[in-house]
Amino acid sequence: MSKQIALLLGVHAHQPVGNFNEVIDDAHLRCYQPFLRMMNRFPRFHFSIHISGWLLANLQRKFPDDMNLLRTMVLRGQAELFTAGYTEPVLASIPVRDRIGQVNLMSERLEQAFTQRPQGAWLTERVWDSTVVPSLVACGVNYVTVDDYHFLCAGQDAAALKGYFSTEEDGRRLDIYPISEALRYRIPFSPAREVVGYLEALASEDMPGAIYFDDIEKFGIWPETYDWVYQQGWLEQFVQGVLDSPVIRPMRYGDYHQHARTRGVVYLPTTSYIEMNEWTLPAQPARVFSDLVNRSKQDGRYDIQKAFIRGGIWRNFLSRYPESNWMHKRMVSLSNRFNQLVETRKTAEMRDHLYEAQANDAYWHGLFGGLYLPHLRRAIYHALVRLEFLLDMVNPRASCSAMDLDLDGYEEYFLHDESVQIVVRSQGLADVLELDSYRLNHNFADTLRRQEEHYHGKAQASLASENKPAADGIANPHEQVSFKHDIQPHDLLTDELPRSLFIDRFVVPEQGHAAATLIRYLPADVESDNTSLVFNALPQLQEAGIDLTKTYRIAPQTLIVSYDFHAPPQADLAVEINLAMPSCDGPAGCLEVAGEVLGGFGQIHERREVLELLLRDEVLGGRLVLSTSQPAHFQAAPLMSVSQSEAGFEKIMQAMTLHLSWSASALIHPLEIRMTFYPL
């Protein structure tokens, strides 16, 4: 029997829920369209493809000709479709009922559009957790793909990873293909002839599988790849080289699954791809992890040690970033409410918003993850806020309730009516960590606390000039350090406190400078009519002559915060408010005082004797009016964070930070701040 190698080439196409239309259009122009049209020219080149549900719906609506082209390739047996959760959730992070619902919805949509019910599933970010096996099997999935690294972590021999293996959970069998890291780092970065030669060298009499499944965005969107893959002809050269080879057989995963037998049973640990395992770690542990990796590489032992230098797991993002954890627990809570409804009260709109709130991208951060991207978090909150409003319409909640939703050991107070909701910490800062306008479907407290990231050290070292591409190919973004924006040391400052709303301080002049005292509060008292939350400052402040009561109330379309206090006459009361405005530092947002346009949200502003601020945001489709009962000294500045993406280090505006202050000696009590929300 002659030597052969089966090439199982799969590509994964995805855009996050809420991504900009121009980004999707550009991705289609530079990647999805040329890839599909190239593959259509070579019917004998069989391949597999997964397109996430939200992206697929966009492509079907805007680019039907290319989707019909894909349908043609499916019908003639050239292309195999893979399923997944419809909005691309990390399946292990959502409730079982939603795992099954999401995968079934995706499979049904694919079968309707392309007449093929998928047998294989793509695991988002290749996050493996054995608990997802029963759900996948219940949806008719027979096999999935994960990295060969997952198998190495289970002690498997790298030389044996040439086909699929079998596992089980709760008596349900699922087959698993190990994706080759060697191919992931070669395709499409190494010259086509070299990749073909590498594949041919793997051929043997038992026709092993060369397994590749990775982001299609590598074929046109990643830096340098459009020119390399299409204009310089890498993809055509590769496809033609494979078809001309006497030993390489391009196959769909399903065909190989029927042709070959399992290579044995395997039980994989909970893990993801190598880079993700580093990204999940906080800065200090990530440095230790990175040092271990570098030392292992320097010693020439990394290939045999990497499976045991493992890093963290995907769920660490929920404990590492409070903002991610809060979104996740809000999503789980609303999933519970939705699924407790009788079937006749559930609607497709509710389900769609629930699934959109489970999209993975805004929950994590690495080279690609989108927690740092405000528009992706905004999409999650848009879905959560709208779903909550719909649920309240059919199954109303109490107007005030308390629970420890985020599992931090302290309760949060939920105070709402049909138009506005606030979530307030029960003690400590007594700050607002969520401020929802149901009419605008927006959380104005959707900001991000600046914290240290492991990669900030790279920015400080200014390593961009040291990047060198491979001698005969192009550079892999995983190995690059570059700068999209100019990063200065002050840009890398971190926050000691959450970036929330109504953080209070007393500021007292002391020996030529102003000393700020952070105000902390006792647990709240709930008014008997459940319409107000009352917080009293800690008794220790009375020693400094400070006695303060803060009250939160809700009125139609309005949040009212009042302060009743006594303080030394030389003191100022300062209130910090971090507002998430969708326009960020773009041209669609502007700030007005007394009819005068001061400028955009991304600029620094200062005014005295201010009674009212108007924030107009065209992206939001709304405006926020902030008024005070007594004139305030007003300052505003953008809150910028530094993060790393495939395009390099970049500064992103997370919020507009407002500081309002009043002289205690000039105040008439109580002081009242109102925030009212209107559509444009």
Q: In terms of Cα–Cα distance, which of 393, 492, 403 is closest to 450? A: 492
Tokens of 107: 């499979």
Residue 640 CA to residue 657 CA, distance in Å, equals: 10
Q: How confident is the model at residue 263 (pLDDT cuts 50, 70, 90)?
A: very high
Q: How confident is the model at residue 568 (pLDDT cuts 50, 70, 90)?
A: confident
Quote the Cα angle for 157-162-166, to 5°.
80
Residue 15 CA to residue 375 CA, distance in Å, equals: 13
Q: How confident is the model at residue 667 (pLDDT cuts 50, 70, 90)?
A: confident
Tell me if 660 sits within 8 A of 671, measured CB to CB.
Answer: no
Q: How confident is the model at residue 457 (pLDDT cuts 50, 70, 90)?
A: confident
Chain center to CA of 546 = 42
Burial (CB < 10 A; 0-12, 13-18, 19+), residue 340, is exposed
For the chain, the average pLDDT equals 93
User: Among the options 26, 108, 111, 215, which is catalytic?
Assistant: 215
Please provide the size of the chain in residues. Answer: 680
Q: Where do runs of H (alpha helix) occur along 348-411?
A: 348-356, 374-394
pLDDT at 44: 98
215 is catalytic: yes
Buried/exposed 553-583: b ≥16 CB within 10 Å, e otherwise: bbeebbbebbbebebeeebbbbbbbbbbbbb
pLDDT at 469: 47
Q: Report the pLDDT averaged over residues 416-445.
A: 96
User: Among the options 66, 88, 125, 214, which is catalytic?
Assistant: 125
Residue 391 CA to residue 177 CA, distance in Å, equals: 41
Q: Report the pLDDT averaged over residues 297-320.
A: 93
| Choice between 648 and 38, residue whose per-residue pLDDT is larger | 38
Q: How confident is the model at residue 638 (pLDDT cuts 50, 70, 90)?
A: very high
Beta-bridge partners for 121:
83, 144
Bridge pairing between strands 671-679 and 622-645: antiparallel
617 is catalytic: no
Residue 640 CA to residue 492 CA, distance in Å, equals: 9
Tell me if 99 sits within 8 A of 132, measured CB to CB.
Answer: yes
Residue 482 CA to residue 503 CA, distance in Å, equals: 36
pLDDT at 476: 53
Tokens of 265: 């049973």
In tens, the pLDDT along 532-565 reads 999 999 988 888 788 899 999 999 999 999 999 8
In tens, the pLDDT along 127-175 reads 999 999 999 999 999 999 999 999 999 999 999 999 999 999 999 999 9
| Choice between 510 and 439, residue whose per-residue pLDDT is larger | 439
Beta strands in 31-189 (DSSP E): 47-51, 79-83, 120-122, 143-147, 165-169, 172-179
pLDDT at 616: 97
Beta-bridge partners for 373:
none
Q: In terms of Cα–Cα distance, which of 625, 615, 629, 614 is closest to 662? A: 629
Per-residue pLDDT for 461 more than 70? no
Burial (CB < 10 A; 0-12, 13-18, 19+), residue 608, is exposed
pLDDT at 467: 44
pLDDT at 367: 80
Q: What 3-state class would DSSP assign to 641? A: strand
Quote the Cα angle for 259-262-266, to 5°.
155
